[in-house]
Amino acid sequence: MRVIARLDVKNGHVIKGIHLEGLRKVGDPTDLAQKYYLEDIDEIFFMDAVASLYDRNGLFDIISKSCERVFVPITVGGGIRSLDDVEQALAAGADKVAVNSAAVRNLGLISEIAKRYGSQCIVGSIDAMRRDGAWEAYIDNGREPTDLNVVDWVKRLEDSGAGEIMLTSVDFEGTFRGYDLDLVFAVQDATSCPVVISGGFGKIEHLNKIFGLSQPSGLVIAGALHYNKVSIACIKDAVLNNLV
């Protein structure tokens, strides 16, 4: 089970909020990426938090600079709308790209990326919010509903060629009250793709509810690392002790 640091970036700064709103600055993305790398993080996920609003991706320079000091797999998301965007991300040093809004608007993009670069390169990113006993997929960094049922959507992403799913609970994101386990279980039951989960982690005890019931491919963690609530070493020890 991989431990993945998530860096949401806006205007050159790592930011953090609650339910993807109320964002505040927490640091420099390159410095934080190097810090987590030196602390033995397995992967780093960079997300441009406002790319879908302003029709651009501002991460390529940050990725390029980070790759001079960071030597773990890097995924970049936010503003990936075309094969040209994917090519620029990979040229900057990213290993994978994550697509959410653009996939909802053009599901064929997932197939195009998978065909050219391989399924291992494409992460289907889902921002999920609970609605009427189920979950609805949201786009534009959790701002816009889509009327897509998350469980149905994850199947379509897999069928289109996504090699991995990153699942974020908007309801739990930034709350430090643990993962939305019902959501995690529902999505894992619906796909054979590796699923990495994001949103809600705040303390080691939150992992106890996952071990034995579910085994996601990765834990995506942001605020708990940014605010020093728990160390990467403690998380990895908990993962090792429960999975070996």
Catalytic residues: 8, 127
Phi then psi for residue 119, to 5 deg, are: -60, -30
Tokens of 182: 């019902």
- Say how far apart CA 135 and CA 139 lie, in whole Å: 13
Residues shown for the chain: 244
| 1 strand-pairing partners | none
The residue assigned the tokens 């289907």 is 124
Question: Counting beta carbons within 10 angstroms of the beta carbon of residue 77, is it exposed (0 to 12), middle (13 to 18) or buried (19 or more)?
Answer: buried
- Say how far apart CA 49 and CA 57 lie, in whole Å: 10
